[in-house]
Amino acid sequence: MSEPLTPDRSPTRHPTAIIESPTIGSRARIYAFTHIFPGAAIGDDVNINDHVLVENDVTIGNRVTVKSGVQLWDGLDIEDDVFIGPNATFVNDRFPRSGKQPDRVGRTTLRCGCSVGANATILSGVTVGLKAVVGAGAVVTKDVPPFAVVVGNPANIVGYASTADAGTAATVTIEQAEIRDLVGGAQLIALSRVEDLRGALIFAEVGDKLPFVPQRMFTVFGVKSAEVRGEHAHRTLHQFLVCLAGSCHVIIDDGRGGRLEVALDRPQVGLHIPPMVWATQYKHSLDAVLLVLASLKYDADDYIRDYDAFLATMAEL
């Protein structure tokens, strides 16, 4: 039986556990037949279940749950509030050979609040992003973006988790309203449509449905449905997106907890994305043709491509 919790904030340790590390946080619960090596660092309120191995070069943050049958090998950094399901596997050597140690192990990071499902495999050098979800049995070979939900072998993005702890971001479409306000100042705008026997025409004018004077345009097409585009914010540039054919989804994020998934599935709807809104495009249909109008000419310095840098910039505003 485990030792009872004590008022002095001491960890709870099962008598069969081998705990060699002196760095065990307050109220950590360590269950049967677990082995924690001397160099490992364990945070507060951690829950480590039966038959878990934690090597030396492993850091585990606060409020992390590690379910049974998991081996945490050298080179693994686990941030706060991470969940690791039973029998998840972490690889730190992509070319293992019996009796031969790698010169260095790949560094793998599980960012705050992410979840790794049962029997998932995470290859070395991979980062699983903030609040991302790795489905059961997935094989993760590349970095997982913040909030992304990935499944399969190799793992592909199938959705995005909301900033809440459960569920997915609500999908937003526009029906009758001419303008619908979203997060971060973004707007869905119903464009004008004219149709007769010759076909249909959709238009927008600057100062009416088009919120800026375009300085650049580009189209995105031929994207495999599993592929993700965007994943950045702009410092000063406005964008206006219209899906001329097919459909795609856009995740918009204001960096302050506001997050929505927008479906662009008809050419008479435009999405205005103002500066300092993080945007990601995915779920492209095979016939999707996305038109993007930009308020400025291309400037690499206007992009913020790292989500942590985006959050830091928003915190300073």
Q: Report helix, strand and coil shares of the chain as percent, to nearest 5.
A: 5, 40, 55
Rounded Cα gap, residues 275 and 282, in angstroms: 20
Q: State the number of CA atoms in the 13 A half-sphere of 188 facing the CB.
A: 25
Query: Is residue 315 helix, strand or coil?
Result: helix
Nearest to 121 by CA among 107, 138, 104: 138
Contact between 62 and 68 (Cβ < 8 Å)? no
Options 35, 51, 232, 272, the catalytic residue: 232
CB-CB contact of 169 with 251 (8 Å): yes
Chain-centre distance for alpha carbon 64: 18
Nearest residue to 314 via CA among 269, 266, 253: 253
Q: Give the pairing of strands 53-54 and 192-196.
A: unpaired
C-alpha pair distances (Å), 256 with each of 102, 131, 135, 276, 316: 42, 15, 26, 11, 12
Quick check: 47 and 80 in contact, CB under 8 A?
Answer: no
Residue pair 29/46 in contact by the 8 Å Cβ criterion: yes
- Told to judge if 14 belongs to the known catalytic residues of this protein, a careful annotator would answer no
CB 145 within 8 A of CB 306: no
Q: Give the whole-angstrom CA distance, residue 194 versus residue 150.
A: 41
Vertex 62: Cα angle to 156 and 305 (nearest 5): 40
Residue carrying the six token digits 């992304």: 148
Catalytic residues: 232
